[in-house]
Chain A
Amino acid sequence: MEELKRQLKQQIIEAINLEDMTPEDIEDAAPLFGEGLGLDSIDALELIMIMDKNYGIKFADKNESKAALQSIDTMAAYIKEHRTK
């Protein structure tokens, strides 16, 4: 699980260009959107693409993706349960 989280953080940093950040800078439980890391709707689309490309996960609807993409913790948990690759 820890390895998955670290890998996920690295993929997020690359996908949304958080150049100056390292995986250690992102807290597992902190919200990714709004007050936390400060990501927005375009970033959400990039995260959905990470889930699809790297883990073979396609969300059924917006509510489902919203719930899964709250934090590194929720993303990792969702991946663990739903990954197809």
Chain B
Amino acid sequence: MVPEAQKADNVYTVVMPKLGLIMTEALLVEWRKKEGEWVDKGEVLFAMESDKSTLEIEAPASGYVHILVAAGEVVPVQTPICLISDQLQSPKPVVEQLPRVQEVHSDVKMLKQPDTISVSDIVPRVAASPKARTLARRLNLDLTKISASGPKGMIVSNDVANASKQKDAPSETLPLSGLRAVIAERLSASWRERPQVTLVTEIDATDLVSARSQIQLETGKKLSYNAFFMAAVARALYEHPYVNAHLEKDGLCRMEAIHIGIAVDTPRGLMVPVVRDVDHKGLLEIDDELKRLAANALEGRSTPDELSGGTFTITNLGQFGIDAFTPIINPPEAAILGVGRISPRPFVFNGQLAVRETVTLSLSFDHRLLDGAPAARFLQRVSQLLERPVLLYSHKFGV
């Protein structure tokens, strides 16, 4: 059948055909006739591509081709794309006065199977019983993804029920919440893109435990160990600025500010609130800030600013009885410090075996940014600072 192209003064307007109920636009892949070239009715005039397939469209009339839309453009369906005229000269742009042209369902051919096309190949249609449709709607299942067992290839309610069971069977599949999805994406990227190496060291934390008690005696405040770790890391970063870096697309970016994130386990998942300018803050101030940010994160009140901009991250699993682990870098940062449980352990102290409070520190670093030795130096410095916590009480570095 020839499509009913609109004819006016021996000019036919060819439009981008609508080949499916939901098709709104299509890519004009290629003109098979040049501007001004003669086309016979039934010859392939152009190729188009919809979201479903690539199709060749035949000319609805014979005449000289006058192209209105260049190949490579995506145009809405029913847009006039060329005129077929009995005149070699391009006709006046009559397009606007012309009524829209009929759909041309029957004049399309699949490129791969030119002889076996029917309307059902073009118009997407899911054969499903009314009951199946109702059920699928209620269960929020996509009928196009359900296999049919009913008469004439029809999806029946049992098919929908089975699809639902399959969906539910192995485990409850919950859609990734926004946060979970972000965590998944970031950690995958971190793991995929970064050659990560973890350095591990056990340090004597006896003086750290003692310092914390002394501060409590002096101020009445029970500081979080994380405040000490953060202060130590800040000072070490200040002294080893190559660790306080991001790898950006255009190169290594040394961060001036020292903003340290702390991993917080919340009901919604892992959050990393960031204490800003830690190098300018004293222990008590860091501790206040940590507690405030952690509370906000736990209650879901964190502002986006509180959760972004970190240059280094600390993650502490000591409270869960973990001694050591290999943390994954929080991109785009260069390293992350994992802190284990502080606990009395047998330890060689002053040449003798003694029971000392110890903690294992694990530093994972991006080996593209840091060599092993500088990273080790950084961790060594963090260790020193924690073993000599008196150094942390002042926030004036270099004292």
Q: Are A and B part of the same complex? A: no
